[in-house]
Amino acid sequence: MTLSDKLSKRKTRGVAGEQHEQALPGEVSVVEQPKLFNVDKRTHKVFKALFHSPFNSDIPGEVPWLDFLHAMYSIGFSVEKLQGSAWSFTPANVFNVEQSIQFHEPHPVSKMPLIWARRIEIRLERAYGWNGDMFKLE
């Protein structure tokens, strides 16, 4: 064995510079979801308020909590009240994802202010890759 054979190392883990797509710790990988949800009028109003476009002249008001529960249930989530004001939303097998998401019910009034709707929108977008164009009125 020559000195050059000892110094050269055989590559066993792929080509240098090759990148692998891996989720970083704490990062949620988005799974293929339905491209369109056909929803009723009540559900459409909720998601239109949650995924409000700044280019739309209509400014949504507060979102009633019961309407939000109805909207999540109607698109295929099971809804479960946990302790205190926490609620868990677990997707059905339709979504090919097992990650549930939790939100807190607003109190003492049961309406979500606009700032809460923005936070819920961001969390739904990060967890499931949703946007406002995915919800169409039946």
96 contacts: CB under 8 Å, gap ≥ 6: 31, 32, 33
Read off the CATH number of the domain in which 104 is found. 3.30.920
Inside any domain, residue 99: yes
Helix and strand tally (H, E) in the chain? Answer: 4, 7
Inside any domain, residue 129: yes
Query: What is the domain count for the chain?
Result: 1
Report which of 95, 15, 109 is spatially closest to residue 61, judged by C-alpha positions: 109
User: Domain of 136?
Assistant: 61-138
* pTM (global) more than 0.75: no
Q: Tens of pLDDT along 61-83?
A: 889 999 999 999 999 999 999 99
Q: Tens of pLDDT along 81-105?
A: 999 999 999 988 766 677 899 999 9
Inside any domain, residue 69: yes
Query: What is the mean pLDDT of the segment spanning 18-46?
Result: 68
